[in-house]
Chain A
Amino acid sequence: MSLFEIKNVSKSFGTLKVLNDISVSVEEGEVVAIIGPSGSGKSTLLRCATMLETMDSGELSYLGEVAARNDAEGRTVYASPSELRKIKSYFGLVFQQFNLFPHYTVLKNLCDAPIHVQKRNAAEVKKEAKELLVKMGLEGKEKYYPQQLSGGQQQRVAIARALCMNPDILFFDEPTSALDPELTGEILKVIRQLAQEHMTMVIVTHEMAFARDVADRVIFMDGGYIVEEGKPEDVISNPKEERTKRFLARFSENG
């Protein structure tokens, strides 16, 4: 049983088909990197997986629990709100733009959902949150508001916020794209550390070197299709498909 499985997803915005019959499954402890040019559908796939976007057709499940399945006509039908609420606690998402709550302190950003959504013990949650902040190198920032932190620090708070929910799988949507180049390192370091701890992760990224380094598997998407998929040393270092080669060539040109 895969920890996460999305099957035969199709999604259109108007007449534009952004996802064509895509299937991805992720095993426990696996780190999957999704790469591809902008407009390739990789972010939409992530949004479908985290249910920020509804699928036109396709199936979705976490830990074997079905979040969405196809009806007889092949159109997606979602599970009941109470089932979805439970399934939502299995995954976390880190956004490109962090999306921290500006009116909450760092600590409250981490603790509010575990306490009020998961109804966990407040004292325990706070203790765990503080440990996470230490781990993220944010010791002593509990009482800060997000705007008082640098972009890199904010993104680390966002990662801590997602982790504080104790998810089984963590999604990253271009986590370093909104950061100045000198700040991307600190985020990549955190993700690398999580990978060493065998956190299950799906990362949409433009950082090729990082993807090759940290991922167990790389998926190259283009035009709403999965073009190539495999071990990083195969897909990134020795691509078979022409489109993958062209995409990677542009990257090496740019340095």
Chain B
Amino acid sequence: MMKKFAAMLLTGVMAISLAACGGSTGASSDSAPAAEEPAAEAPAADAAAEAPAAEGTEDTEFIVGFDAEYPPYGYLDEATGDYTGFDLQLAEELCKRRGWTLVKQPINWDNKDAELDSGTIDCIWNGMTYSTPERINAYTWSKPYVNNSIVIAVLADSDIQTPADLAGKVVIAQSNSSAEDALKSDELKELAGSFKELQRNPSYDTCFMDLKTGAVEAVAVDIGVARYQMRNNPDTFRILEEPISTEQYAIAFKLGNEALRDQVQETYDEMLADGTVMKIAQNYADDNLPDMLITE
């Protein structure tokens, strides 16, 4: 009996370590500066990965990390059970053109840096805000592709009309989101200081739940997300006319991974030039994406 247990354990551990060594052939491992990461892959896997993505090898994986609770950029389509969204559709088209296999990897947004660093994802393509010096310096970025504004969403019948009315109110934002970053920035410090409290929750959906139930009085949020919520909850929410901040979205890569960034940028530019990006944005016209798109 003891022997059986030991054998079982051993098998388990071996399976795990083998898998851990042999597994992924992520695009970042080929195109990241080589010296940075000790080779941990098994030789066979290496050979496949070594074939540069630029030559369009078919089994090159492109792992996009995204928050699956972040519609319309990345979310679960309940009808099909697939992850979809504006950013993921862009990524699909891009991979098709480059001959890569797209892996849509949902992540816990709070762990996005560790995911990128450790190579479990190749990029974050998920309405990621290109702003604040800390953020800009922490990643290698694509060119911005969407103009976003951070707005305040309130209940339709709320008496809050302008950001100034938020004084003494309880406001919520997604933790580690651009909205939270913006409220911590020098420009908005004063506004944030006027709140009774700034709460944070890892999920935007929960933030709006809280707003609906009265647990908070306002949500600081990217406009696309706010519009998606308004569409799903007709007559429930309202967006203040005056955005608290305007900013841009870009794709974030691991710092120093210019090689992969350049490949993605090159294909994205093609997609933009031939109108494909706009076509995909039209799928999200209700969320105002065509207007937000950066077209040059």
Q: Are A and B direct contacts in the complex by CB distance below 8 Å?
A: no
Residues of chain A whose beta carbon lies under 8 Å from any beta carbon of chain B:
none
Binding site for A on B (CB under 8 A): none
